[in-house]
Amino acid sequence: MRRITALFSAVLLAVPVLFCSSMLAARAEDIQNTITLTEEERDYIAAHPVLKVGYVQDRIPISFADENGECAGISRYIFDRVRELCGIDFEYVPLPTGDVTYDYLLSEGFDLVTSVEYNKENKKARGILISEPYLSSRKVIVARQDMEFSYDEDWSVAVSTGSQTLKKVLAATFPNFALKDYASITDCFDAVNNNDADLMILNQYVVEYWLAKPKYEDLKVIPIIGLDDQLCFSAVVAFADQTGSSQEEGELLINILDKAISSIPEGEIGNYVIQGVMENQYEFNLSDFVSRYKYTLCALTLLMLMILALTIMLIRQRIQTAEIRADAKAKGQFLSTMSHEIRTPLNGLIGLNYLMSQKLGDKTKMEDYLRQSSITAKYLLSLVNDILDSFKLEEERMELVMQPVELALLIKTVGSIEQNAINEKGLVYNAHTEIQYPLLIGDEVRIQQVILNLLDNARKFTPAGGRIDLTLSQKMTAEQLVQTTITISDNGRGMSEEFQKQIFKVFSQERETVSKGNQGTGLGLSISHKLAKLMGGDLTCVSKKGVGSTFTFTFLAKPAQVSAEENAKKTEAVIARPHILVAEDNELNAEILLELLHSEGYEADLAENGRIALQKFTASAPGTYGIILMDLLMPEMDGFETTKAIRALDREDSKSVRIIACTANAFSEEREEAYSCGMNDFIAKPVDVQELFNKLHA
């Protein structure tokens, strides 16, 4: 299941990571390229223009030898930056595998060693001086998937012989652990994988690289709270002359390095970490690739069939409603549009599945086909969501979810989501906000939905070289409600006066724009208009052919404030990882949910139906389970019956345990019944991973 999680994570993270990298690159010119040195420090550099640096070879992506035998990784990026700042050149020499002694470093003439742990053991080590840390991360535990970890147990821990300082730290931190020496990191991973050792403890970036190998798919990561992993430089000083010039020169070198490290912004360090992780990922071979993504291929196929069946059902429902509310022309346009919108991506998915079966040996092609399949499946899902939203709005069954909304963060988020597509088309996007009331009580998802729809339309209908502007202003009404006004303007092709009269009708599309490849369902603006009305506001449009369009979206909301106490509770909720009981009868859905939860550090147990869920909760000690993810339709006992039975138990946690409905039944009737029988929250399938974790942290 790590395979499915890895694919979802890549899709979710690719856009923000690339955006962050581009922003940092744009700031590179603003970063200083020199530091202020004393006369003694400049004299030292003049006398030592090249320093010999020893580096470890098996700490990908932090420090390793690349395919050309050159020093590479995050530490090398830092060294290159220090060279620019100080004017010192470095000669990189790999250190041997195993325990590297001070006498060896001294005899071989090393001046520096990189990727040294910043801790009290190294601070007092014989004959070395260490700099301030240049990279902060954390250590994590690697163990087998079936292991139930506890700090109180006497575990055997695999440690590389080249990590003698780590052994001292672990011995002091976990005196009940038995440390076992192995020749290399590879041997440590194999020892845990083969049950020769219970666990190993290592830097999280290094662990993430190794666990990407299918060989170690039966291993898991367990976070350690409070055990940081800070890396620094170490200067080698001749022990026999510690009170003389060697000690003084070592201190000068450390001072120079500390100045360089402190002058590098945290954002730049973060960029080096992103670059190191992204550029040094484990390379799969063909068998790895097919094995890793077989579940994804199955999941995409199942998703396609589910969406097709649901879409057909909803189309039939939509037709029945249209017969009452629309004339024959609107119904005909609806059928034609929906047929085209469904057949086009389905044709793509069917074709991509065939191509994947023909190109199993071509990794590059397979990755591209998977990426396209994921995008197409997401489009089909958005189509179903649009139909559902339109249906609920017309039937007046849409309910807003009112909660605190951070307006500045919301505007930043929608800009980030659209930025890549805007950049790819060669457009200029500007956002100007005057926020007087930064925190409002409203439906964040629906506000974001309207803004994204307007930005997406502006991008579609503005040719390359054009611009899109978003402005936001606020005022307080006589009823003590905040009226927020958001305008989105473009200098695109604009619309005819005739079409503007019907722009907010269901399935409305201007024939000229459809012919130019910008066709869609015609639901977005209709939904946005009704959502604006539902939020006490409005959505209007002013447009002129060949000049552009301006949409104005207003909504009303109460101002809100979050106290320091509430913020503290939020922070605690994010840090806490409650034990979760998953009640799910579908084997594939259960496997996906459990793997997602485990990847975030949650402990989770599975109950295959409602009766088993009730039995497991009843048999557990009070307080064992903090959250229950409850499917609604299950054999023997459904989610509603199970929830009522749990709430009726005579035990202290039967009323306090959080029960979250997790179901494909997304209509308001099921939601209302879920709340009435004692559930605390509701999440619809297909599960939005970020929404799931947000609700678990709430």
> What DSSP string describes 611-652?
HHHHHHHHHSPTTS-SEEEE-SS-SSS-HHHHHHHHHTSSST
Distance (Å, whole) CA 288 – CA 2: 13
Selection from 681, 400, 398, 396 nearest residue 557 by Cα:
400
Residue 51's DSSP bridge partners are: 90
451, 555 contact by CB (below 8 A): no
The residue with tokens 């006992």 is 637
Distances (CA, A) of 388 to 395, 433, 504, 667, 675: 11, 32, 17, 9, 21
Q: Cα 456 to chain center, whole Å? A: 23
At residue 9, does pLDDT exceed 50? no
Contacts 24+ apart (CB under 8 A), 506-511: 506/326, 506/330, 506/334, 506/390, 506/394, 507/330, 507/333, 507/334, 507/337, 509/337
At residue 574, does pLDDT exceed 60? no
Distances (CA, A) of 191 to 24, 209, 329: 40, 17, 70
Residue 540 binned pLDDT confidence (cut-offs 50, 70, 90): very high
pLDDT tens digits for 352-402?
677 777 777 787 878 777 766 765 665 566 666 666 566 556 656 667 778
- Predicted local distance difference test score (pLDDT) of residue 378: 59
For 23, the token pair is 């922003």
Distance (Å, whole) CA 269 – CA 503: 49
Distance (Å, whole) CA 154 – CA 176: 5
Buried b / exposed e across 499-537, counting CB within 10 Å, b at 16+? Answer: bbeebbebbbbbeebeeeeeebbbbbbbbbbbbbebbeb
For 385, the token pair is 């969501």
The DSSP element (H or E) to which 23 belongs, if any, is: helix 2-27
Give the pLDDT mean for 315-335: 61
Distance (Å, whole) CA 587 – CA 334: 37
At residue 546, does pLDDT exceed 60? yes
Residue 564 binned pLDDT confidence (cut-offs 50, 70, 90): very low
At residue 586, does pLDDT exceed 90? no
pLDDT tens digits for 443-476?
888 898 899 889 988 998 899 999 999 999 999 9
Give the contacts of 100 (CB within 8 A, at least 6 positions apart).
54, 113, 162
Specify the domain boundaries for CATH 3.30.565.10 within the chain.
403-559
pLDDT tens digits for 162-204?
777 788 888 888 999 999 999 888 899 999 999 999 999 998 8
| Backbone angles phi and psi of 538, in degrees to 5 | -160, 165
Q: What is the DSSP letter of 604?
A: E
Contacts 24+ apart (CB under 8 A), 255-258: 255/41, 256/37, 256/41, 256/44, 256/45, 256/86, 256/88, 257/82, 257/86, 257/131, 257/132, 257/233, 258/131, 258/132
Residue 439's DSSP bridge partners are: 406
The residue with tokens 């936001």 is 472
Contacts 24+ apart (CB under 8 A), 386-390: 386/521, 386/523, 386/524, 386/527, 387/311, 387/314, 387/315, 387/318, 387/521, 387/523, 388/314, 388/666, 389/523, 389/527, 390/318, 390/506, 390/523, 390/526, 390/527
For 535, the token pair is 């939020």
For 532, the token pair is 């604006």
Q: Which residue has the higher pLDDT, 335 or 467?
A: 467
For 213, the token pair is 């190998």
677, 646 contact by CB (below 8 A): no
- Predicted local distance difference test score (pLDDT) of residue 90: 93
Give the pLDDT mean for 280-298: 66
Return the SS3 of 655: coil
Q: What is the CATH number of domain 564-697?
A: 3.40.50.2300
The DSSP element (H or E) to which 157 belongs, if any, is: strand 156-160
What are the start-end ranges of the H helices in 87-201? Answer: 102-107, 120-123, 164-173, 185-193
At residue 625, does pLDDT exceed 90? yes
Residue 53 binned pLDDT confidence (cut-offs 50, 70, 90): very high
Selection from 471, 635, 631, 657 nearest residue 552 by Cα:
471
Q: What is the DSSP letter of 657?
A: S
| Backbone angles phi and psi of 98, in degrees to 5 | 100, -165
For 474, the token pair is 């606020």
Pairing of strands 63-65, 71-72: antiparallel
- Predicted local distance difference test score (pLDDT) of residue 124: 77
Distance (Å, whole) CA 628 – CA 580: 6
pLDDT tens digits for 420-439?
888 888 999 999 999 999 99
Distance (Å, whole) CA 312 – CA 539: 30
- Predicted local distance difference test score (pLDDT) of residue 28: 40
- Predicted local distance difference test score (pLDDT) of residue 59: 86
Residues in the chain: 698
Domain 138-227: CATH class, spelled out: alpha beta
Distance (Å, whole) CA 318 – CA 391: 7
459, 520 contact by CB (below 8 A): no
Specify the domain boundaries for CATH 3.40.190.10 within the chain.
2-136+230-279, 138-227
The residue with tokens 């209709």 is 526
Name the residue type at position 267: G
Selection from 340, 324, 325, 315 nearest residue 509 by Cα:
340
Q: Which residue has the higher pLDDT, 312 or 223?
A: 223
Give the pLDDT mean for 532-540: 92
Q: Which CATH architecture has domain 2-136+230-279?
A: 3-Layer(aba) Sandwich (3.40)
556, 477 contact by CB (below 8 A): yes
Distance (Å, whole) CA 502 – CA 508: 7
For 542, the token pair is 């002013």
What CATH superfamily classification does 403-559 receive? Histidine kinase-like ATPase, C-terminal domain (3.30.565.10)
Dihedral, CA of residue 302, residue 304, residue 307 and residue 312, to nearest 10 = -120
Selection from 305, 314, 299, 300 nearest residue 384 by Cα:
314
131, 260 contact by CB (below 8 A): no
